[in-house]
Amino acid sequence: MIEQGQALPQATLSELTADGMVNHQVEELFANKKVVLFAVPGAFTPTCSESHLPGFVTLADKIKDKGVDLIVCVSVNDAFVMKAWGESQNASHIAMLADGDASFTRALGLEMDTQSFGGVRSQRYAMIIDNGVVSKLNVEAPKEFEASKAETILESL
């Protein structure tokens, strides 16, 4: 599993924008920026839709006031699902990025296999990234939701 002080792995994350599909290279996307990235097991799932994403939507301005250039939500879903989920949650200030094949999630060592429920998904976590290097990593214990909450990350900034 990736650790604090390590650079993010090379990977591609997808985003469906008004101009079409954009494939972001992780190394370029996070270069020269302070980023808060949080990951969820699945778009439109209960804790993710009722608490995790809404917390970051609500606190986006306060997080950005702390010098954060970009807030990113990642899930092992496709870019179409991430766009629809972001729109349904009024997440216009958050980059809703898809890790469709879980390659980014696997490279981080933060995957989990939910078997027939949904296959390979991301663990729930949040990280603060400075110029492509993880400066803070909060991974949730199974069935927990505290370490990766927007309020917890805001306090860490």
User: Is 3 part of a structural domain of the chain?
Assistant: no
Give the CATH number of the domain where residue 96 resides: 3.40.30.10
User: Is 67 part of a structural domain of the chain?
Assistant: yes
The yes-or-no verdict on residue 110 having pLDDT over 90 is yes
User: Is 65 part of a structural domain of the chain?
Assistant: yes
User: Is 126 part of a structural domain of the chain?
Assistant: yes
Three-class DSSP labels, the chain: CCCCCCECCCCEEEEEECCEEEEEEHHHHCCCCEEEEEEECCCCCHHHHHHHHHHHHHHHHHHHHCCCCEEEEEECCCHHHHHHHHHHCCCCCCEEEECCCCHHHHHHCCEEECHHHCCEEECCEEEEEECCEEEEEEECCCCCCCCCCHHHHHHHC
Q: What confidence score (pLDDT) does residue 112 get?
A: 86
User: Is 149 part of a structural domain of the chain?
Assistant: yes
User: Is 7 part of a structural domain of the chain?
Assistant: no
Q: Domain span at residue 42?
A: 12-156
User: Is 1 part of a structural domain of the chain?
Assistant: no
The yes-or-no verdict on residue 118 having pLDDT over 80 is no
The model's pTM? 0.95
User: Is 6 part of a structural domain of the chain?
Assistant: no
Structure confidence at residue 13 as a pLDDT band (50, 70, 90): very high
* % of the chain with per-residue pLDDT over 90: 89
Number of domains forming the structure of the chain: 1
Q: What confidence score (pLDDT) does residue 16 get?
A: 97
Give the residue numbers marked as catalytic: 48
Q: Per-residue pLDDT tens for 45-95? A: 889 899 999 999 999 999 999 999 999 999 999 999 999 999 999 999 999
